[in-house]
Amino acid sequence: MQPVLFSVAAVVAVLCAGLMGYAIQRGATCTVAAVDELLTRRKANRLLAMGEASLWVAGGLALASAFHWRPAMPAAYPLSGWVVGGGMLLGFGAWINRACVFGAIARFGSGDWSYAATPVGFYVGCLTAGGLFAAPAAIALSEISPVLRMANTTAVVFVLFASWRIVPALALGLNGRSRLAERVWAPHAATAVIGATFVVILLLIGVWAYTDVLAELAARGMSMRLVLGVVFLVALYLGSLLGGWTAGRLRSTPPSAAGILRCFAGGVLMAWGSLLIPGSNDGLILIGMPLLRPYAWIAFATMCVTIAAAQLLRNWLAPPPSMREAV
C-alpha cells in the first residue's frame, strides 16, 4: 500500500472504505448472525450472501485481469493444523463477541458503544500473541490463482452473474422502489457493495483488510505506510455510523463493564486465530476465498462450525425459557 494520501486514487479508495462500512451496517453483515440464522430459521441467506461477496471480488479481479490490470496479489498459504486451530479460535472469539469483525462494525454503527472494545482487543491480541505461541512461518505458494489463470472465462461468467443481480435492482430503482433506500438491506445487496468497494480499493491502492491494519500496527507501530490504512479504518467506522444514522437505527447504548469485557476478550481471541491462519474473516472472505485458496475456505468453514457448536452447546446447557417450559 503506497502512502499516496492526497492522490485522487486515495480519495476514491477512502470513500469506498466509508461506503463499505455503510453497507456492513445496513446489511447487518455478520458471520455469527449468519450461522444463527441457519440454526434457528433453517435459512442460509446471510451465509450465501457472504459467499456472494467473494464472487464479486473474484469476478472484479478477473475482469480487471482480462483488461491487463492486475494488482499485486497477497501470498497464499498451505493447509496445516494451524489453519484449523486458528479457525476454531476465530469462531469462538466471534461467538464470545456475539459478532465477527464485520458484525462488530455493524453493531458499533447501530450505537452499541461496547463494540469499540473489539478492535482494541484485536490489537492487544496481536501484541500478545508472540509471547504465547509461535506458529511456523507461512510458506508462500507460487502458483497463480485459478481465478486469474482463467481470467477471460471467469470475467464472462461474472458479467452474466452481475447482470442477473444488477438489472432487476435498476428496474426497481426506476420504479421508485430501490432496495438500497430501505433501512435494512437484503444480505446479498450489502455483500455485493462490500465486495465491489473492496475490489476498487484493491485496484487503486492495494490489498487492504481492516484487521490487517491492526495487526501491522501491533507488529511495527505507526509508519507512513500505515497512515492510509488507518484513514481507511476511520472511514469504515464513520461509514457505519452514517449507515445507522440515515436508517434511523442509531440508538445509543452506553457501554457496560460486562459488554466491554466480552468484546475485548472476543477481539483478543479473534486476533490470535487470525494470526494462526493467517487472516481474519474479512481477509478470508475478501481475499483468500475469492482466489480459491484452500486454506481460506477451510478456515472459514471451521470458524462457522465452531460458532454453531458453541451456540448449540449453550442452548443445551441453558435452553431458552420457551424450551424449558416445553421440557
How far apart CA 62 and CA 162 sit, in angstroms, is 13
Q: DSSP character for 180?
A: G
Neighbours of 152 (CB within 10 A): 10
Mean pLDDT of the chain: 86
Mean pLDDT of 167-174: 60
pLDDT for the residue numbered 124:
95
- Please work out, in degrees rounded to the nearest 5, the angle formed at the alpha carbon of residue 66 by the alpha carbons of 65 and 72: 10
Residues 87-110 have pLDDT tens digits of: 999 999 999 999 999 999 999 999
pLDDT for the residue numbered 183:
61
pLDDT for the residue numbered 90:
96
How far apart CA 107 and CA 179 sit, in angstroms, is 21
Range in 39-48, 134-143, 249-258 with the lowest mean pLDDT: 134-143
The grid cell for 74 is 497477497
Closest C-alpha among 168, 175, 194, 183 to residue 53: 194
- Residue reference for cell 472465462: 153
pLDDT for the residue numbered 244:
92
pLDDT exceeds 60 at position 326: no
Higher pLDDT, 85 or 144: 85
pLDDT for the residue numbered 164:
85
Mean pLDDT of 177-190: 70
Closest C-alpha among 325, 178, 233, 172 to residue 24: 233
pLDDT for the residue numbered 117:
97
pLDDT exceeds 80 at position 229: yes
pLDDT exceeds 50 at position 1: no
pLDDT for the residue numbered 138:
59
pLDDT for the residue numbered 132:
75
Confidence of residue 73 (pLDDT cuts 50, 70, 90): confident
Burial of 261 (0-12, 13-18, 19+ CB in 10 A): middle
Mean pLDDT of 35-48: 94
Q: How many residues does the chain have?
A: 327
pLDDT for the residue numbered 239:
96
CA distances from 26 to 170, 171, 186 (A): 19, 21, 9
Burial letters 74-99, b for 16+ CB under 10 A, else e: bebbeebebbbbbbbbbbbbbbbbbb
pLDDT for the residue numbered 169:
63
pLDDT for the residue numbered 250:
86
pLDDT for the residue numbered 141:
64
pLDDT for the residue numbered 219:
81
pLDDT for the residue numbered 247:
86
Q: pTM of the entire structure? A: 0.89
